[in-house]
Amino acid sequence: MLIVIKEIMADNIWYLENIDAEGIFCPQKIGSDASSHSKTSFKKGDFIFKQEDPSDKLFYITAGRVKIGAEGDSDKSVTKAILTTGEVFGEKALVGENIRRDFAQAMESTELCIINKTEMSSLFKEHGPFSLFIMKLIGSRALKMEKRLESLVFKDSRSRIIEFLVDLNKEKGQRVGYEWVVRNFITHQEIANLTATSRQTVTTVLNELKTKDLLTFNRKRLLIRDLDLLTNEIQLA
């Protein structure tokens, strides 16, 4: 099995660029007991886990999208992350979380490889780079949530939206000549949920940036024409 780890030097974030998820998570590939490994499909809207569920599994997305969020006492919910194919979640099970504080919900037809946390220790021994990835994943998500909190406190809605676009490009963008493209671009409402703004505000900001010829977008992709100028817009807001 080949695991390739790539480091983005600017932010010191590590992620798995290519991973044989079947080989790590699924019993047919590694010959483990099926009781601790599984591969499961979820329909749009299905909950993978809810708040107060036992925190005892780790999940790898082989297809689809998953929303991570939390609900308050007043039936209001907050979106913490939107994850796509190739991403891992549920990692808090490995750092002492016994009961889920978040929920995970399929945003479309989604397929997951699932492994029980009791099996993870042996996998860490077998796959050293994988254990390093999990540690980096936990640390980078904690930093990301801290940055998001600071943005909510210190930046206005326009700045938060632009900062989100810049960060999204850092995580998932691909360079095409002098431009950057983010495929499978999320909806305006999803951006609003992640930036604590309204869908109307997101639409207004995106259209303004499009008018300035800094980016173009549709349901399938975001194209950033000048990343430096887009980044400068955060400072102007």
The DSSP-derived string for 107-146 is SSSEEEEEEEGGGHHHHHHH-HHHHHHHHHHHHHHHHHHH
Architecture of domain 155-236: Sandwich (2.60)
Question: Cα(132)–Cα(33) distance, rounded to whole angstroms?
Answer: 24
Q: Tell me, what DSSP letter sits at residue 94? A: G
> What pLDDT shows up at residue 27?
52
> What pLDDT shows up at residue 43?
96
**What is the CATH class of 4-144?**
mainly beta
Q: In what order do the strands lie in the sheet with 57-63?
A: 37-42, 110-116, 57-63, 88-89
> What pLDDT shows up at residue 235?
67
- From first to last of its 237 residues, what are the pLDDT tens digits of the chain? 344 434 333 343 334 444 455 566 665 544 444 445 567 999 999 999 999 999 999 998 989 999 999 988 777 788 999 999 888 899 898 888 899 999 999 999 999 988 888 787 777 777 667 777 778 888 888 888 888 888 888 899 999 999 999 999 998 899 999 999 999 899 999 999 999 999 999 999 999 999 999 999 998 899 999 999 999 998 654
CA nearest to 206, candidates 151, 175, 172, 168: 168
> What pLDDT shows up at residue 77?
82
Q: Give the other-Cβ count within 10 Å of 93's Cβ.
A: 21
CA nearest to 160, candidates 149, 170, 171, 169: 149
Domain residue limits, the chain: 4-144, 155-236
> What pLDDT shows up at residue 17?
45
> What pLDDT shows up at residue 62?
87
> What pLDDT shows up at residue 236?
53
- Is residue 180 within 8 Å of residue 174, measured between CB atoms? yes
> What pLDDT shows up at residue 144?
84
Asked, colleague to colleague, whether 4-144 and 155-236 share their fold, the answer is yes
- Is residue 205 within 8 Å of residue 171, measured between CB atoms? no
Long-range contacts of 207-215 (CB under 8 A, 24+ apart): 209/162, 209/233, 215/165
Residues 6+ apart with CB under 8 A from 234: 155, 159, 162, 163, 166
